[in-house]
């Protein structure tokens, strides 16, 4: 099979992945899950590979979870067996990447959230399972993970359209604001597309309000601190999307800004725990 790796690693992501805050005992399985997800994402997003090749390689990823397929999946399967972790999250993630290959448009917000149910929520659920956290945290996790996914989609909406002909801005939202799919190919957003992006950022803000209590409810203090950072970074990026055009302006944090946001988020989180 052709190597479709992008060369992207965990330090290139918008949000922390198994940072130094995470206890070393938990970092290894999370990194195995990340490498599995990264490999599958690279397959689904490769701009030159055809759908048949992508689906063939994703099936090899799934076979690896059973013990005979892609090495990234086999390594993850071994860690899950060793730790007694359910492989449902890995399979759901593969379902999302198959959907990336076979579905290029979303009609409604609900359809987009349904995609996030496969593409984003299982990632956080896996991390919670690794830490032995209560599954009662899943609704808050799901809201945060869906918000992160949609923020990424809005940041990359032009690139996804131009490179992959993939559109995550729901058709109903574009229709309501007077935007068109073709607007995503421009150098800057038209008024209709800009209004659609703002509307989706506002709905994402609703998800972030749902996830706001998440970090404080996590027992593991180190994981809680990382989630507090992710929550704050997401809030800031979502606010940026309400005022900046992702087709024409930078909608990302610089390293220094990320570090400052992280320090403030951790300080605020532990101060809140002390008071609570």
Neighbours of 50 (CB within 10 A): 10
259-263 long-range contacts, Cβ below 8 Å, gap at least 24? 261/229, 261/232, 261/233, 261/236, 262/16, 262/229, 262/232, 262/233
Distance between CA atoms of residues 248 and 101, nearest Å? 27
In a domain, 7, yes or no: no
In a domain, 3, yes or no: no
Task: Assess whether 182 and 52 both reside in one domain.
Answer: no
In a domain, 173, yes or no: yes
User: Among the three residues 71, 102, 133, which one is the final residue of a domain in this structure?
Assistant: 102
Task: Assess whether 44 and 139 both reside in one domain.
Answer: no
Task: Assess whether 119 and 248 both reside in one domain.
Answer: yes
SS3 of the chain: CCCCCCCCCHHHCCCCCCCCCCCHHHHHHHHHHHHHHHHHHHHHHCCCCCHHHHHHHHHHHHHHHCCCCCHHHHHHHHHHHHHCCCCHHHHHHHHHHHHHHHCCCCCCHHHHHHHHHHHCHHHHHHHHHHCCCCHHHHHHHHHHHHHHHHHHHHHCHHHHHHHHCCCCCCHHHHHHHCCCHHHHHCCCCCHHHHHHHHHHHHHHHHHHHHHCCHHHHCCCHHHHHHHHHHHHHHHHHHHHHHHCCCCCCCCCCCHHHHHHHHHHHHHHHHHHHHHC
Residue 92 and residue 118 in contact, taking contact as beta carbons nearer than 8 Å: yes
In a domain, 12, yes or no: no
In a domain, 208, yes or no: yes
The whole-number pLDDT of residue 261 equals 79
Task: Assess whether 94 and 134 both reside in one domain.
Answer: no
Dihedral of CA 148/151/152/153: which sign? positive
Q: Each residue's pLDDT tens digit in the chain (276 positions)?
A: 446 654 554 444 555 565 778 999 999 999 999 999 999 999 999 988 999 999 999 999 999 999 888 899 999 999 999 999 999 999 999 999 999 999 999 999 999 999 999 999 999 999 999 999 999 999 999 999 999 999 999 999 999 999 999 999 999 999 999 999 999 999 999 999 999 999 999 999 999 999 999 999 999 999 999 999 999 999 999 999 999 999 999 998 888 887 787 777 777 766 766 666
pTM of the model: 0.91
The whole-number pLDDT of residue 263 equals 75
Task: Assess whether 139 and 222 both reside in one domain.
Answer: yes
Residue 233 and residue 15 in contact, taking contact as beta carbons nearer than 8 Å: yes
CATH of residue 237:
1.10.600.10
Task: Assess whether 114 and 89 both reside in one domain.
Answer: no
Tokens of 205: 């803000």
Task: Assess whether 120 and 77 both reside in one domain.
Answer: no
Task: Assess whether 69 and 205 both reside in one domain.
Answer: no
Task: Give the chain's radius of gyration (CA, Å).
Answer: 19
The dihedral region occupied by 149, where left means phi > 0, alpha psi between -120 and 50, and beta the remainder, is alpha
User: Among the three residues 102, 129, 154, which one is the final residue of a domain in this structure?
Assistant: 102
In a domain, 9, yes or no: no
In a domain, 246, yes or no: yes
Tokens of 134: 């209560």
User: Among the three residues 81, 102, 123, which one is the final residue of a domain in this structure?
Assistant: 102
Task: Assess whether 95 and 118 both reside in one domain.
Answer: no
The whole-number pLDDT of residue 1 equals 45
By residue range, what is the domain housing residue 45? 23-102
- Number of domains within the chain: 2
């Amino acid at each position: 099979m052709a190597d479709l790796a992008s060369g992207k690693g965990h330090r290139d992501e918008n949000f922390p992945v198994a940072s130094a805050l995470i206890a070393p005992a938990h970092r290894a399985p999370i990194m195995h899950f990340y490498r599995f997800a990264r490999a599958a994402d690279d397959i689904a997003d490769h701009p030159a590979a055809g759908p048949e090749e992508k689906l063939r390689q994703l099936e090899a990823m799934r076979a690896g979870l059973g013990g005979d397929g892609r090495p990234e999946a086999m390594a993850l399967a071994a860690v899950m067996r060793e730790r007694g972790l359910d492989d449902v999250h890995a399979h759901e993630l593969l379902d999302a990447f198959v959907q990336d290959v076979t579905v290029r448009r979303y009609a409604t917000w609900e359809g987009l959230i349904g995609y996030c149910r496969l593409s984003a929520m299982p990632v956080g659920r896996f991390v919670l399972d690794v830490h032995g956290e209560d599954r009662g945290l899943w609704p808050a996790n799901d809201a945060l993970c869906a918000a992160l996914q949609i923020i990424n989609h809005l940041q990359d909406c032009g690139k996804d359209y131009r490179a992959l002909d993939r559109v995550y801005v729901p058709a109903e939202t574009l229709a309501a604001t007077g935007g068109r799919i073709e607007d995503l190919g421009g150098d800057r957003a038209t008024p209709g597309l800009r209004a659609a992006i703002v509307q989706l950022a506002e709905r994402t803000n609703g998800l972030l309000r749902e996830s706001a209590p998440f970090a404080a409810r996590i027992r593991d203090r180190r994981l809680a601190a990382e989630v507090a950072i992710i929550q704050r970074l997401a809030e800031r990026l979502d606010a940026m999307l309400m005022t900046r055009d992702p087709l024409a302006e930078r909608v990302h944090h610089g390293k220094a800004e990320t570090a400052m946001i992280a320090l403030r988020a951790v300080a605020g989180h532990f101060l809140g725990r002390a008071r609570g």
